[in-house]
Structure 1
Amino acid sequence: MNFQTKYITPDIKLSCYEDSLFKTEVVFEHHMLVWFISGETKIIQAGTSYLFGPGDIFLIPRNQLATVINYPKDGLPHKTVAMHLSVERLKELYGGLSLKPKGTPPQKICCFGHHPLLQSCMASLIPYFDMQDNFPENIASLKINEAISILRIIDPAIDDILSHFDDPGKIDLVDFMEKNFMFNMPLEKFAYLTGRSLSTFNRDFRKKFNALPRHWLTEKRLELAHYQITQYKKKPAEVYLETGFEDLSHFSFSFKKHFGYAPTNLSK
């Protein structure tokens, strides 16, 4: 993979790659603010998807499941500047403010379009990536705090997201898994996001679904893939990216084993 990452600090990075696509399924430990320079990204969450291109700025809140598919486009590499807004930094910032988060924040990506203040803030970082010496930590902190201040000015509701520091609480397991089964996450991550230990997750899952988690997840993903190919005429090479499979060959093998015929038969 032709991939390059430059860091100003561990919390500020410039990512660039030129391959045909890069797919990952993630749950970020910290909020991530992203500014697009070139290329295209499709982000899939439960019940919705987003498409981002050059100039777009968005915030992916922490502890949210997402499939991220990155592409080069128009002869240009996929290139972004990403800034991590760590829980530790936000706790320090919000500690001096008399704010109370309004319950659990919404499970969605925050989109800011091509906002000039945010663009100026993120673009000002570009020259620093070519510095040979270590970037001064105090300047990096100023840049991150500047971005947070701009976010709070242009979107007052962002406080409900950035000032929410609790770990996920115990939630309805059936509802969560029915909405998020397509994300290829370790069972430990599913357990954490539903507010359970792994042993409690496995026990509750078998009780609710009368099945082992891995078998149930594979079957649900295959059924979703079958539906997308037949109803939306999608190609197998497109479907596997969005239904939790590691690669096309693994998807095709699992599909044929489950249904008795290859996914290409449906496409034809």
Structure 2
Amino acid sequence: MHATEDERYLGWDDGAGLVPGPAPAATDDLLAADSWLVEDGRVRGLERHMARFSQACGQAAPDLDGVELFWRHAVAELPRTGAWFPRVELRPDHTLGLRLRPAPPRQPAIRAMLWERPDPRVVPGRKGPDLQRLARVKARAVAAGADDALLTAPDGRLTESATASLLWWEEDVLCAPDAPGSLLPGVTASLITDRARRHGITVRRRRVTPADLDGRETWLVNALHGIRPVTAWVRTGLRPGPAARAGHWRHVLDALALPLPAPERRSLPTG
């Protein structure tokens, strides 16, 4: 990605903490990453983002120390006003960094297409290594008149899109893909499904093909945009279902945003 005028990069130094510096170039070799929306100092599921990033770092660099301390310093640096979409990164040289990025415009709905080529991801279950590959998938979808593209497993089942988790409704049942090994653990999807269960709604994982979504209310969800109902299936022949539940569930999801903790850093180790 290209840095904007308002974007800042802070690299982690074990002795000095987060230090401003030039933003490293985008890479296909990023080991781990995580991003989330901050609006006027409020975030949805921050602890889940932390857990996902920590787990990803543990998988990619088992001997890496200081991830928790880095995270706390990163959260302390987050702006408490305005809309931001920060990203934490573990880079190929095992260095950690924070990109402070203004949030791009949010979309209330989405036009989706099907990715008819093999899934390009190398590490589907970890956010980071495939970000640039997925950005190229999205760019091709945009060039074709869509906003994003749904990926498929070799057996034809749908998994997720280049940028979002897939959810859909079958009558009063909220469904998510059953595709072991091919899904990123989506924070926003987990917030929605957990809340649905608390409301007494049945949540079911199932194998899903494109034909199964014909005429159904289908959402693509992520930390930036929240819930986006699919309002057009580009070049597929599928019919979008009415977005009857999306408005209510946006309010439910928005209510889960909590204030960031007070910007206090833990002391760095001495010695």
TM-score using structure 2 length: 0.25
TM-score normalised to structure 1 length: 0.25
More strand by share: 2
Q: Going by fraction, where is helix more abundant, 1 or 2?
A: 1
Whose RCO is larger (CA < 8 A, sep 6+)? Answer: 2
